[in-house]
Amino acid sequence: MTRPPARTHLTASVLALCTLLGTTACSALSSPPTAEQAPIVPTTSAPPKSPTSSPAAAGLTAAQAQAALVTDADLGEPWTPTQGAATWRDGLLKAKTKRPDCQRLLDALYADDLFGADAQPRAVVGLDDEWNEAQLRYQVVARKPADVDRTLAWLKTLPKKCGQFAARTVANGVQGVQVTDSRLPKVGDGRQGLLIMMTGESPDGEPTTLTLDVAAVRVGDDAIGLTNGGLGDVMTDATRTAVQLGAERLKEIRKQARVQV
């Protein structure tokens, strides 16, 4: 007589034991445990903590962004803390044109948001040139580097797209606008400067020329935006000095923030 396989004896033993223990135990014994049925062994170790961003990765604090600004002390005479928005902002920058890119530029200048409405200004300072009645606006902005680079690329196209166009202002009628490149110090990870001139007449019929020196610079994960403009002479050296000092200061503060983490 042939000897039954070992599995036949095992099955018979399980059935016999089922008779004594009942159907529930039989179900557990009749098949090996799967991964879902395997018993859970309690553990005393704490659950892993959710990763948190370091202050440097999350961006500058308000105090750090404020410390990265340029001041009237950096630029020297004739610069002083601003006494308020220049009167020519509403009269000339609030303007309309039929050319989309040029309209976008005018809107950005008027709203002081070169990097887009969704950019987050971290710190802003306004300075007045008491000799020429010009005004400089400088801000440190938090925005994704890729978004800043797209803005810089767009600004680079404007001397060609908006080299010359007409814009109808709210208070000063139609103005002729000219946009050209402006040289900036080689600082940061990307930069673009523009020189914008609006020529026309005041409501009294007097000839006017608004000059705006514009700069946008990316420094790592942050950006600098600057406009320096007025109806008289505009000190372009002040623009370059502010960009140079500001980019170096912002880079150093970011470096200090990483060390402190």
Count the Cβ atoms, other than its own, within 10 Å of residue 210.
24
Say yes or no to pLDDT of 35 above 60: no
Q: What is the mean pLDDT of residues 196-221?
A: 94
Count the Cβ atoms, other than its own, within 10 Å of residue 33.
9
Model confidence at 260, in pLDDT bands (50, 70, 90)? low
Residues, the chain: 261
Kindly give the interhelix angle for 23-30 and 6-21, rounded to the nearest 10 degrees.
150
Higher-confidence residue of 119 and 201: namely 201
Say yes or no to pLDDT of 8 above 60: no
How many helical (H) and strand (E) elements, i.e. helices and strands, does the chain have? 9, 9
Residues forming beta bridges with residue 121, ordered by sequence position = 141
Q: Summarize pLDDT for 227-255 with one digit per residue, the tens.
A: 999 998 899 999 999 999 999 999 999 88
Nearest by Cα to 148 from 199, 87, 111, 189: 189
85: left (phi over 0), alpha (psi -120 to 50) or beta: beta
* Least-confidence region, from 58-67, 107-116, 159-168, 178-187: 58-67
Q: Output the pLDDT for position 261.
A: 55
CA–CA separation, 119 and 212 (whole Å): 21
Specify the CATH number for 59-260; select among 1.10.3470, 3.40.1000, 3.40.630, 3.30.110. 3.40.1000
Q: Helix (H, G, I), strand (E, B), or coil: what is residue 37?
A: coil
Contact 114, 108 (CB under 8 A): yes
Q: Output the pLDDT for position 165.
A: 98
Q: Output the pLDDT for position 33.
A: 42
Q: Output the pLDDT for position 43.
A: 40
Tell me how far apart the 2 most distant CA atoms of the chain are, in Å. Answer: 125
172: left (phi over 0), alpha (psi -120 to 50) or beta: alpha
* Least-confidence region, from 15-19, 81-85, 154-158, 173-177: 15-19
Q: Specify the amino acid at residue 11.
A: T
Q: Specify the amino acid at residue 180.
A: T
3-class secondary structure for 109-174? HHHCCCCCCCCEEEEEEEEEECCCCEEEEEEEEECCHHHHHHHHHHHHHHHHHCCEEEEEECCCCE
Q: Specify the amino acid at residue 108.
A: A
Q: Output the pLDDT for position 259.
A: 66
CA–CA separation, 106 and 128 (whole Å): 22
Q: Output the pLDDT for position 60.
A: 83
Q: Summarize pLDDT for 153-167 with one digit per residue, the tens.
A: 999 999 999 999 999
Q: Output the pLDDT for position 163.
A: 98
Higher-confidence residue of 258 and 32: namely 258
Q: Output the pLDDT for position 38.
A: 40
Q: Specify the amino acid at residue 3.
A: R
